[in-house]
């Protein structure tokens, strides 16, 4: 992901072409979904090119030769331990695509597409794309010699609050091991052990949806909603609110209201299972 973002920012034309494809295929301001990936050939090409040029593991797991074999005029005896130079394959002028693209490639499309389409990016420290350090640091994995330092310039609605909600959800799950256990049991029963969660699986994951709802209830990322203006005189809880009054809705308070929620300070996803109550 770091290498893909670095190359995109180092080559502004690539970023421009990717955004044009997103807007034509998905529409401006919309979120990238996993189901959109097959219709985004340029995004898929970016991912393939990143894997070709920047192999995260430059040398593949050692292989043992089972029979005597000749490769490029050299005899490799049976029993020889062979290291495959994946980095070299990706830089071979006679080759274009590396063998054995990893399973993570499927998720990389979605993550990279969301980052490109949801943010405007700028390089920190005032450097230009041409001044970026694109050198590689060799090791067991192939990393950038200098870590990528970027910042989102303009947020699209929902991205900042989503990241905050994700942080709270993970914190609550790890703080409540029973919740983590129940979620994993649901995943294994519904999807199968060792498989990846797809967007199409979400409707069948009722406990996961309950965790998300409970996170929104207990941890409102925006505690006060956008101010509203009262259009007519109205009475609320015995108080008269005159027409024209600007009202701030305490969303955090609603989520902790004891008259609505049982034990509101506890994290209990189960409260939403089989319930018509929503957040």
Based on the fold, state whether residues 64 and 85 are members of the same structural domain.
yes
Residues 80 and 187 in one domain: no
- 193 is written with which tokens? 């052990």
The burial class, CB within 10 Å (0-12 / 13-18 / 19+), for 195 is exposed
Question: Is 191 within 8 Å of 185 (Cβ atoms)?
Answer: no
What's the distance, CA 147 to chain centroid? 19
Are 164 and 148 members of one domain?
no
Residue 119 covered by a domain: yes
| 184 and 148 in a common domain | no
pLDDT in single tens digits along all 279 residues of the chain: 888 888 988 899 999 999 899 889 988 877 888 888 889 999 989 988 888 888 777 777 788 889 999 888 889 899 898 887 777 777 776 654 443 444 444 556 666 666 666 667 778 778 888 888 877 676 655 667 787 777 765 444 455 566 678 888 888 998 988 999 999 899 889 988 877 777 888 889 999 999 999 999 999 878 888 888 999 999 988 899 999 999 988 888 999 999 989 999 999 999 999 877 766
Query: Which residues 6+ apart lie within 8 Å of 238 measured at CB?
Result: none
Q: What is the largest CA-CA distance in the chain?
A: 93
pTM more than 0.75: no
Say how many C-beta atoms besides its own lie within 10 A of residue 26's C-beta: 17
Q: Which of 87, 86, 35 is closest to 200 using CA atoms?
A: 35
Domain of 66, in residue numbers: 2-154
82 shares its domain with 9: yes
The residues, any chain, with a CB within 8 Å of residue 139's CB and separated by 6 or more, are none
Report yes or no on 234 lying in a domain: yes
Grouping H, G, I as helix, E, B as strand and the rest as coil, residue 145 is coil
253 in a domain, yes or no? yes
């Amino acid at each position: 992901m770091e290498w893909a973002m670095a190359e995109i920012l180092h080559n502004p034309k690539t970023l421009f072409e990717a955004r044009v494809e997103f807007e034509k295929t998905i529409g401006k301001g919309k979120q990238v979904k996993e189901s959109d990936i097959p219709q985004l050939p340029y995004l898929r090409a970016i991912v393939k090119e990143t894997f070709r040029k920047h192999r995260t593991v430059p040398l593949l797991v050692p292989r043992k030769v089972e029979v005597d074999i000749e490769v490029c005029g050299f005899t490799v005896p049976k029993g020889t331990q062979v290291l495959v130079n994946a980095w070299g394959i990706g830089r071979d002028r006679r080759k274009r695509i590396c063998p054995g693209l990893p399973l993570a490639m499927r998720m990389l499309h979605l993550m990279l597409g969301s980052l490109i389409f949801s943010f405007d990016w700028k390089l920190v420290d005032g450097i230009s794309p041409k001044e970026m350090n694109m050198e590689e640091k060799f090791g067991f994995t192939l990393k950038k010699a200098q870590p990528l330092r970027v910042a989102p310039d303009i947020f699209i609605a929902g991205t900042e609050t989503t990241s905050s909600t994700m942080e709270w959800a993970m914190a609550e799950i790890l703080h409540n091991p029973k919740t983590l256990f129940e979620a994993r049991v649901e995943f294994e029963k519904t999807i199968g052990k060792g498989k990846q969660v797809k967007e199409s699986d979400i409707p069948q994951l009722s406990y996961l949806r309950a965790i998300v709802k409970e996170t929104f209830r207990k941890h409102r990322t925006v505690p006060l909603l956008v101010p509203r203006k009262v259009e007519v005189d109205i009475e609320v809880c015995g108080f008269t609110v005159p027409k024209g009054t600007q009202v701030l809705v305490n969303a955090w308070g609603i989520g902790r209201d004891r008259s609505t929620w049982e034990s509101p300070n506890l994290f209990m996803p189960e409260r939403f299972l089989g319930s018509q109550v929503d957040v």
